[in-house]
Amino acid sequence: MAAADIHRTLDAVWRIESAKIIAKLARMLRDVGRAEELAQDALVTALEQWPRSGTPDNPGAWLMATAKNRALDELRHRKLEERKSATIALDSSLVGQAPVEPDRAADDDIGDDLLRLAFIACHPVLSREARAALTLRLLGGLTTAEIARAFLVPEPTIGQRIVRAKRTLAEARIPFEVPGAQERAARLSSVLDVVYLIFNEGYTASAGEDLMRPALCEEALRLGRILAELMPQEPEIHGLVAMMEIQASRAGARIDAAGEPILLLEQKRGRWDQLLIRRGLAALGRAEGLGGALGPFALQAAVAACHARASEAKDTDWVRIVALYDALAQLTPSPVIELNRAVAVSMAYGASAGLELVDALIAEPQLRDYALLPSVRGDLLEKLGRFAEAGEEFARAATLAQNSRMRTLLLSRAGACAAARLQ
């Protein structure tokens, strides 16, 4: 295999396996920052060895074994330097089975290193922004640039957040342990935010050659489903799972044979995965059945359900979707939610009504480099027959889009607007 092919293979494997490796090492070493360093060391070793020896039959297992061996070497080195009996007892147990404090034994039921890592990275000693950035880096395997695009903030800002977060965890000597039931509930909101962002990056990749990164969607769904089993009385977990299940059901209809995107209203709904839709609607039912007002994730799931229940795009209940976005905007106001609401308003009450709302968002700093703003505006202008302006908006959106598939689609729409002007 050529070196370039090996590098591509390793990059793909690292995307999938890095979070598992870091989570395993963090449990062994009780140090998230050091775990990430040793995982990176294993990656460097693979880059050096695989071009000579070839790609192993199970690349993920190779990376895990290499990283674990480095962690074990470090634990043995610690034992040589630290002779205190308590430290020796702790480190010796880490080589095999980590001890569990008796008063925490009943609560330590997660049984999944990735989720354990999520709860540690979402420790309250960190700011909410730092928790999300760090966990996306560790669990989602996202680059600093990808996380910055997810948060709509500059890349250096995210880099600083991640560095500070790891330093804070180390300086505070945060133990790598499953929090007790009460503390776990307090951290749940941050964990759900992270799972949501990982799913979003998988559902529509912020950069790269492919529209979707299915492995990230699958990992987010797996984490969400496990959380739902562990904390069945939390409606927002079921809401998040419902939203992810329903949106994931569209995967097979979102791209054509050439890998190009197909817009929601143009998708063949017969290709939507009905099993995932049934699972999603059942999860939404569980969220609603727990009583109380719906939270942000459950409301987004309800929006997705409106699309899933419509056999054809024309049957979509857009008036209900507008009402759901009204409720969502009250709970978690943001320019992105307002942009989505504007789209729903345009479908329910006409393109002019939607355009008026979109125009009010043009000055929003958070949306300055957000490709969907000019994309939505271009779509509404096109519907109104203002093809010259629409083409300019699509062209501008293309310059902001980091994903090459979306860029191609936007340029195609700009070209269609130019052609329409000549007719």
DSSP of 186-255, one letter per residue? HHHHHHHHHHHHHHHHHHS-SSBS-S--HHHHHHHHHHHHHHHHH-TT-HHHHHHHHHHHHHHTTGGGSB
DSSP code for 261:
B
Task: Note whether residue 23 is domain-resident.
Answer: yes
pLDDT at 196: 92
Cα–Cα distance, 284 to 236 (Å, whole number): 9
Q: What is the pTM of this model?
A: 0.78
**Whole domain around residue 202: which residue ranges?**
113-173+182-208
pLDDT at 8: 85
Task: Note whether residue 279 is domain-resident.
Answer: no
The b/e string for 138-148 (b: 16+ C-beta within 10 A; e otherwise) is: bbbbbbbebbb
**Residues in the chain with pLDDT values less than 50:** 88, 96-111
Extract the runs of DSSP E, i.e. beta strands, from 309-391: none
Cα–Cα distance, 85 to 265 (Å, whole number): 66
Task: Note whether residue 311 is domain-resident.
Answer: no
pLDDT at 99: 39
Q: In the structure encoding, which two tokens stand for residue 273, read together?
A: 């995965």
Report the chain's mean pLDDT, rounded to a whole number: 88
The reply to whether 87 and 150 lie within a common domain is no
Task: Note whether residue 6 is domain-resident.
Answer: yes
Please tell me the total count of domains within the chain.
Answer: 2
Instruction: Identify the domain boundary among 64, 96, 128.
Output: 96
The reply to whether 132 and 198 lie within a common domain is yes
Report CA-CA distances (Å) from 124 to 158, 183, 279, 295, 300.
Answer: 18, 9, 32, 21, 26
Cα–Cα distance, 47 to 11 (Å, whole number): 10
Task: Note whether residue 79 is domain-resident.
Answer: yes
Q: In the structure encoding, which two tokens stand for residue 261, read together?
A: 């995107």
Task: Note whether residue 42 is domain-resident.
Answer: yes
Angle at alpha carbon of residue 325, lines to 323 and 326, rounded to 5°: 60
The reply to whether 5 and 75 lie within a common domain is yes
Candidates 39, 12, 418, 341; CA nearest to 208 is: 12
Report CA-CA distances (Å) from 382 to 302, 321, 420, 421.
Answer: 29, 23, 9, 11
Cα–Cα distance, 245 to 176 (Å, whole number): 31
**Which domain CATH number covers 139?**
1.10.10
Whose tokens are 């610690």? That residue is 78
Give 269-293 as a DSSP string.
Answer: GGGS-HHHHHHHHHHHHHHHHT-SS
153 SS3 class: coil
Residue 175 neighbours by CB distance under 10 Å: 11
Task: Note whether residue 344 is domain-resident.
Answer: no
Euclidean distance between the first and final Cα of the chain, in Å? 52
Task: Note whether residue 291 is domain-resident.
Answer: no
The reply to whether 14 and 56 lie within a common domain is yes
The reply to whether 10 and 52 lie within a common domain is yes
